[in-house]
């Protein structure tokens, strides 16, 4: 609902600030950290996806530092791996002598 107001209505600065304060107070009073359950699920999925992308990015950096720039095939393999697999590969890179040992 706040998005609709933001999109449709421009208030003078003093009223804008008052509206924001009252909206925050209302959300706190109603204990509404999210407007809808769909939005909450979207934020949770976004955090998980962001975490997985971060894990993949770190692993790619470690591979580059230890073995040189990875092929596009390896990049795709890492980009599509789940979080548990990325963690396992990240642990293996510590002792692996080859990239194949990491990704086996």
What does the DSSP 8-state code read for residue 70? Answer: P
Residues 6+ apart with CB under 8 A from 43: 34
Spell out the domain ranges in the chain: 50-104
Q: Can you tell me whether residue 6 is helix, strand or coil?
A: helix
Q: Is the pTM of this model over 0.75?
A: no
Q: What is the pLDDT of residues 18-56, one digit of tens each?
A: 877 887 777 677 665 555 666 666 666 667 777 888 899
Q: What is the pLDDT of residues 46-69, one digit of tens each?
A: 677 778 888 999 999 999 999 999
């Amino acid at each position: 609902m706040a998005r609709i107001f933001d999109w449709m209505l421009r208030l003078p600065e003093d009223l804008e600030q008052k509206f924001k304060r009252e909206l925050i107070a209302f959300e706190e009073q109603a204990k509404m950290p999210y407007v809808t359950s769909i939005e909450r699920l979207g934020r949770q999925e976004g955090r998980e996806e962001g975490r997985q992308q971060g894990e993949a990015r770190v692993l790619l950096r470690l591979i580059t530092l230890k073995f040189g720039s990875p092929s596009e095939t390896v990049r795709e393999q890492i980009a599509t791996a789940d979080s548990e697999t990325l963690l396992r590969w990240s642990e293996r890179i510590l002792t692996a002598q080859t990239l194949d040992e990491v990704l086996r």
